Structure 1
């Protein structure tokens, strides 16, 4: 519902909110688009205009204010403007189709895609837009971030006095899972208990699992690999604080008061496994595991020794599913704690070029995974198999080079996405020469690559690398 400054409700905007177009957006997109549209409506209101009277000049003036005006204390980036433009485009296209306005005020132009298709895009799209505010962290920097931000460690390397880690084991397990697997936030956050990898690969370093198609961006299932250590953390969490939260919820009768629950009776096998359940009204249902949305996964329970238990892996302290977007708050709190503990008071918020504390987002885990796997796969080819340059070339012809392998692990259909957005700091670096400069013995099965990552961070832009002495490496960003 959109409420005007004079507290009147616009019925046309209400119809748009109920339209198939708007209802088809993901919940986060709905929230973001509604906020973007509300800001534009307020801007038009100050000009004495209704949104159905919007002209191209109005949007040009609005873009200038949002992005460039010196008087605006909070200008936005090109990527943020592109998102707002997408919200406006959805609204005005719908209004044209419904006959509420005659022309779309968002000026469009035709472009040719790399595949040769001709498509229409908004003419006001930003030329300098970056798809994300990307942060890469090296493995030792992630260890520091986890220890300080999630485990409450101080400068002495042990938990500070008075530290009470609320579901510390859950948070650490989630971060380690994403860092070691490259799963997106929704993919990792919506896992069910029986989807946690359990079978280790030969050698025991990694376990493999399947991420369901419906929770992926491409809507295609894929195999993912998680480190044995991360899987062990998950198992410890399941047996400790998760079990404790469930027992408390059962004792409080919290699950009995839920308005909706699907008690799973069977999870089938085969190429297209199905989940069968019985709801509170006794109605039996089933759906392919691959087609379960994350909202449907929230409703799945199993009968445990003490009563119903959620199949959703990550739970809050009340024993209820921890929603995917809530992980952003965990990362924000950890970042603030790292800054408070690791940054000397006299340097806080003063010198943007001197970094004392690591900063991470949920998506940083995925970008860091890509960087880690690129370096490790190069190391495996060069060291573990002892390949000569000729053998390495033959290996690439047979199996693809490490860049291609990382693309597959991330689930990207376009190689350019992997190289341009996920591995942009190192796409112009000669990783082979860095690996050869490592002091690790050649016959080591998988050497400690902290030194290699330190050199990569020094020679590339945007990679955070902070050593064990809590001192930032020169040139790290």
Structure 2
């Protein structure tokens, strides 16, 4: 008997459970009768059983109302917690507040845990467990939720209920932003194998430098989330021209909440295009020469994309189907192929060295390796995918404020008088990031400019890259990583 819970997904590109384990040779038909939705998580206990209550939870609000990426994260959180309970001789519906305290201690502090998590991640896991147990308690499946609550007064004086085990401080670092020159140095040293002085490192053995740097720069130059950039199809990249920024459409199923337009800088799009024509093309050619794509069972070859955005595909054996381009999630995209001049090739932009579509979650490991390399070379720079997004937001708000002043010819004094006009800048950056709330953009992503006098942002010469303005913010706030003494 296994000693851990297993997680599978319906219609996930071949990731289905062993039918002999669950005892269902007609699994697809049973899923249909039970009302199991497409792309629904399935948790299987170490005894090989599917808990009907969890299946119900996964197809009901509030779980289905979460973004696809959040659903994936929450399902993984449940699997880990259920396994922890199982090894203690418990099932999830028998968990107590003391069991949750033990889990919190293990996740954050236990010496035997080789990968303890921080407060921010624990806060997310606690939110996932609270959602499950609130639902289970309301349905009568659990007598008392293990997530104990306490009453607190918010800043606006309203009383609210929060978990007792909620982290007191979820911020692991105040630094969330990098200036363009700090980003360039981190990328060149961490991803391209250069030395901090700009020379080549003879010991560097990287093989995917172009791909890795292109992906990181796409995040920094577009503000896309890791999932959004990591699931792009080649056809979703805008054609390279002579613009400073290019607009493209992000599919609903690939975005966090809703489809939207995104904008990518010329430099970032050029790098992605270069990768597609070089490193990616070479990986595809090698896979084609070995017949790797023809051996894949779960392949859907795109035959046509209609003007209404409908993808029509064929599969081995002559099976056909259609799906809206806007509805393609990350796992469906992994199965999509197109017919190129030399045969089949993946429709997704980012590929592994073997020419197979790359899963988007793996990009975080790339950033972690780059950070370790920078640290080993004495470089006090680090980055994460979300820091690239924060940095894009900061550059945009500074650039847009600066551009609007140039266009309207306002002096600093006039700028204060017409300050209300610049609410439009915050709204534009909110749209660029795909936020629902302008307050999120202001309060979280753009903290370095809060409290600074607006004319401070406008000091210095006309500079299209706003490098000096960002350097000034870095010096004044200590929240933005820069390269001291660097020449812009």
Q: TM-score range by the shorter chain?
A: 0.7 to 0.9
Tell me the equivalent position of 2:268: 230
**Aligned pairs for 1:85-96 within 5 A:** 85-93=126-134, 95-96=136-137
Tell me the equivalent position of 1:357: 380
Distance 1:395 1:190 in 2: 42
Distance 1:66 1:318 in 2: 35
Q: CA deviation at 1:319?
A: 0.5
2:435 equivalent to 1:435:
no
Structure 1 pair 251/396, CA: closer, same or farther in 2 (3 Å)?
farther
Q: Answer yes or no: is the 8 Å Cα contact 1:110–1:120 preserved in 2.
A: yes
2:77 equivalent to 1:32:
yes
Q: Answer yes or no: is the 8 Å Cα contact 2:189–2:374 preserved in 1.
A: yes
Structure 1 pair 289/459, CA: closer, same or farther in 2 (3 Å)?
same
Distance 2:91 2:335 in 1: 42
If the length of structure 2 is used for normalisation, what is the TM-score?
0.78
Q: CA deviation at 1:144?
A: 0.4
Q: Answer yes or no: is the 8 Å Cα contact 1:374–1:406 preserved in 2.
A: yes
Structure 1 pair 179/56, CA: closer, same or farther in 2 (3 Å)?
same
> Which residue, 208, 215, 219 being the options, matches 2:254?
215
2:443 equivalent to 1:411:
no
Structure 1 pair 53/20, CA: closer, same or farther in 2 (3 Å)?
closer
| Cα root mean square deviation, aligned | 3.8
**Aligned pairs for 1:63-78 within 5 A:** 63=104, 77-78=118-119
Distance 1:260 1:185 in 2: 25
* Structure 2 residues not aligned, in runs of 5+: 6-43, 65-69
Q: Answer yes or no: is the 8 Å Cα contact 1:2–1:13 preserved in 2.
A: no
Q: CA deviation at 1:409?
A: 0.9
Q: Answer yes or no: is the 8 Å Cα contact 1:261–1:300 preserved in 2.
A: yes
Tell me the equivalent position of 1:174: 215
**Aligned pairs for 1:33-48 within 5 A:** 33-39=78-84, 45=88
**Aligned pairs for 1:232-251 within 5 A:** 232-251=270-289
SS at match of 2:458: helix
Distance 1:392 1:405 in 2: 18
Tell me the equivalent position of 1:3: 3
Structure 1 pair 433/329, CA: closer, same or farther in 2 (3 Å)?
same
Q: Answer yes or no: is the 8 Å Cα contact 2:175–2:480 preserved in 1.
A: no
Tell me the equivalent position of 2:292: 254
Q: CA deviation at 1:313?
A: 0.3
How many residues end up aligned between the 2 structures?
440
SS at match of 1:286: strand
Structure 1 pair 27/17, CA: closer, same or farther in 2 (3 Å)?
farther
Structure 1 pair 65/213, CA: closer, same or farther in 2 (3 Å)?
closer
Structure 1 pair 289/73, CA: closer, same or farther in 2 (3 Å)?
closer
Q: Answer yes or no: is the 8 Å Cα contact 2:395–2:466 preserved in 1.
A: no
Q: Output one character per residue of 1:165-218: Cα deviation in whole Å (capped at 9) or x when no partner.
A: 312111111111111110001111111111102265xx7211111111111111
Q: CA deviation at 1:230?
A: 1.2
2:319 equivalent to 1:283:
yes
Tell me the equivalent position of 2:301: 263
* Structure 1 range deviating more: 359-368 or 370-379: 370-379
SS at match of 2:398: helix
2:116 equivalent to 1:80:
no
Structure 1 pair 138/95, CA: closer, same or farther in 2 (3 Å)?
same
Structure 1 pair 416/13, CA: closer, same or farther in 2 (3 Å)?
farther
